[in-house]
Chain A
Amino acid sequence: MNFLYKRITAVIILSSVIAFAFSIAAQAEPYLAIKNNLACSACHVNPIGGGLRNDFGRNYGQTVLPRKTYQFDSKTIAKLTQFLTIGTDARFNASYQKSEAETNDTSKGFSTESAQIYLHFSIPETGLSFYVDEQVAPGSAINREAFVMYNFAENSSLQASYLKAGKLFIPYGLRIEDDSAFIRQVTGMNFDNSDNGIEYGVNFGKTTVNLYLANGTSQATNDDDSLLYGTRIEHLFPHFRLGASAMLNDGDHQTKMFNVFAGTQWRNIGLLAEVDYINLEAANTFTKQDISQQVGLIEMNYQWRKGWNFKLTAEYFDPDNDVDENEQTRYSFITEYTPFSNIQLRLGIRVKQDIPQMPEQNYDVIFLQSHFYF
C-alpha cells in the first residue's frame, strides 16, 4: 500500500512539476495514426482514441516522438498494479489574441487549458475494465468519461470487438486534439461534450466499425423520449485510410450529420481531411425550414526531423447553405517541438475569419503551449 501510494504521488508530482514549470501536446493526434497506418486503438486504451495511452502509445511518446529520449520504464510507473493503470495530459497556454471588435479587442495572458487524469481498472483474463477520464483543472473536477468496457475474446465469434456503457465521447470523424476546430466545434463531437450511452466496436482486420446509442443531450440527462444513434466506419488501405460517420439525434427537431474523412502519408508529409454535412430540422426560426451546414478541414503535417512537426490547417464552415456570403474560415500554422520524452511545445498562429458583421469572430491568435503527456 505504501509502495502504491509512493507511485501515485510520484506520478502526480512529476506531472504537475513538468506541466506547470514549462508551461499543451498529443492527446489525440490522428496524424500519428495515419503516419504509422495504425488504428487509434494501437496507442490508446480507449479504442476510439484519445485519453490514456497503452504500453505501445506510452512507448511511442517516450522514444519515437521526442527529439531526445529519456530511458525509464514507463510501464512500471503507469501500471500501479497489474489491474490499475494511470495516465495524464496537462496543457498550459500563453496566448495573445486580437480581434476586430471595437472595444476589448485584445487579450493576452497565461492559462491552464486543461489537465486530465486517466484511470483504467482492468480485471485480467476477463476482458472487463473500467475507465475514467477526469479533468482536474482548471477549476473543480469535471468527469469527461466514465464507462465500463467489455472486450470480447478475439477467438470468439465476436472477433476483436468491445462493448462500452456509461459516459463516453461519441466516435465521429477525426478526433483531432484541437476542440476549437470547426469539425469539432460545429459538430459538437469534441472533448468538451461527452454523452451517456452505449457503444459497440468491432475490428475486421483493416476495417473498424463503431455503433452507438446515447441520450443525445451531451452531459445532461435525457430530456425527451428520443435518443441519438450513429455509426463510424474506417478502413485502412495500404497507403491511405478512408472513413465515414453518420449520426441521427432524434427529438422534436432532428439533427442529422454525415461525414467522410481520409488520411495518407507520403514520405515525411501526412495529409488528412474531413468534410461534414449537417442538417438541422426546422432550425430556421423565420421560415421554420431546415438548415443545412457544411464543414471542412484539410491538415498537412511535415515531420521535418525527429521531434519536429509543422502543421498547416485550413478550415471552412458554411453555417447555412441557403445563405450566401456567410462562410467562415480558419487557418493555422503550428510548430510542434518535442524536445524530450513526455513534453511537447507548440507555437502556433491561427487566423479566424467571419463576416464583417461579427467583429468578435474575426481574430488572430498567437499561442505557445506546453503539453505534458504520460
Chain B
Amino acid sequence: MKLPLSLAICLLLFSGCNAGSGDGLDEQGRPLDEITEVPLVEDGIQATLPSIQDHVFTPICSVCHGGANPAAGQDLSSLESSIDNLINVDSSNSLFKRVLPGSAQESYLYLKITGDNRAGARMPLGQSALDEQTISAIKQWIDEGAVIPQNTANMAKINRAVVTIVKFKENVSEENVADFMSQNDYIWREKNAITIVFWFNKAMNFANLTNDQILVNSFKGSLSSVYSTLVSNEQVSIHVINDQSIQVSVQGLDRDITKLMIRLNESSIATMVTQQGQIIDGDNNGIEGGVFYYEFSL
C-alpha cells in the first residue's frame, strides 16, 4: 500500500459524514409529530423550569448530562430527570446541594454556571459561558424555591424548610437575621418565638389549611433525659406567602426548650394537596402521603 493511497482512503472516510439537515425536527431534535406540550410563546428564557429545560438543559447540558451514562450521574435530558437529579440532591462538593431551593448562592448548579472557584470547571464545559439573562433566570428560579410544573409525574414535596425569623430585640433588623441567629441565639429565648418558611415544589391548595393541622413538639432536657410536649395549636399561626410557600410561627415557647419538631401532612388529621389534588410525599419515599418532619435545635 502506498502512502498517498492510504491518505486518500482515510480522507475519503473522514469526509463521508455530514450533520443532519434537521428537516422535520423541532428545536430539541425530535420529530415534530412527537410534540406533546404547548410550545412556549415567549422568545427569551423565563425563570421557570420548563423554560430553563428548553433553553439550557436540553440543548446544552444534556449533550454530556444525558444519554447512556450521564456525566456525574446527572441526567438533565428531560424535565422529570432534571427534577430528580437536581433539587436537593447532593453535589460532588459535600458542602452543597446541586439545587438548594431558595438559595442560588448555595446551589452547586449556580456556582458551576457562574465559574465559582468552589465548583471546579465552569459549565458548560468547553463552550461559551451562559449569557447573563440565562444565568439570571436560573438564579431567580432557584431563589424563588425551585418550583416545578404541576403536570409532571414527579411527587409533590416540601422542598425546604428555613428558619427565617426569631423574635428579636427591636434594634435588630430582619435583614441581619442570619448573623443575628448565629451570634445571639440566647435572644431567641427572651422573646420565645420562631418563624419557619416551608417551600413546596408545586403550587399548593392552602385554602383548607388550619393551624391545628400543624403539629409542634417542644423538647427539653439533655441527652440523658429528653421529654417533649405538644405545643398548643393556639400558639401556632400560619401565613400563606404564595402558592408555593407558607410561613409558620410558633409563639409563647418556654425559655428552656432545646429542640422543636414540626410535623406536616399528618394523614390522621389532614393531608396537604396541590392545586391539582396531588397529595404531597411528606416522607420522601416516592409515594404520596407520609409525614414531613422538621426539627430545629436551639
Interface, chain A (partner B; CB < 8 A): 95, 97, 99, 101, 103-107, 111, 113-114, 135, 138-140, 142, 180, 185-190, 192-193, 217-220, 249, 255, 257, 266-267, 269, 271, 278, 280, 284-287, 293, 298, 300, 312, 314, 316, 319-320, 323-329, 331, 353-358, 360-363, 365
Contacts and interface: CB of A to CB of B under 8 A. Distances in A.
Contacts of B67: 186-188, 278, 280, 293, 319
A325 B72 contact: no
Contacts of A323: 25, 29-31
Given A138-B121, A329-B19, A358-B59, A218 B26 contact: no
A280 B68 CA distance: 7
Nearest to A104: B131
A327 B17 CA distance: 9
B22 A138 contact: no
B72 A324 contact: no
B127 interface: yes
Interface residues of B, number: 56
Contact of A266 (B6, B27, B34, B78): B6
B207 interface: no
B22 A361 contact: no
A326 B25 contact: yes
A218 B3 contact: no
Nearest to A331: B14
A218 B70 contact: yes
Contact of B71 (A113, A138, A193, A356): A193
Contacts of B16: 314
A139 to B, nearest CB: 3
Interface stretch (B112-120, B184-192, B212-220, B288-296): B112-120
Contacts of B28: 357
B29 A188 contact: no
Interface string B251-271: 000000000000000000000
Contacts of A101: 128
14 contacts: A99-B127, A105-B128, A135-B120, A138-B117, A139-B116, A189-B69, A193-B72, A280-B67, A325-B22, A327-B18, A329-B18, A354-B29, A355-B21, A360-B127
Contact of B22 (A95, A192, A357): A357
Interface in B70-103: 70-74, 78, 90, 92-93
Contact of A255 (B22, B27, B68, B127): B68
B129 interface: yes
A189 B119 CA distance: 22
Interface in B1-43: 1, 3, 6-7, 10, 13-31, 34, 36
Given A105-B128, A327-B20, A312 B29 contact: no
B43 to A, nearest CB: 10
Nearest to B27: A357
A141 to B, nearest CB: 9
Nearest to A327: B20
A312 B12 CA distance: 12
A269 B128 contact: no
Contacts of A356: 21-22
B137 interface: no
B71 A188 contact: yes
A23 to B, nearest CB: 16
B20 A324 contact: yes
Contacts of A287: 34
B10 A357 contact: no
A355 B128 contact: no
A285 B20 contact: no
Nearest to B77: A283
A358 B71 contact: no
Given A326-B22, A358-B29, A363 B127 contact: yes
Contacts of B93: 140
Contacts of A324: 20, 23-24
Contact of A139 (B1, B36, B73, B117): B117
A180 to B, nearest CB: 6
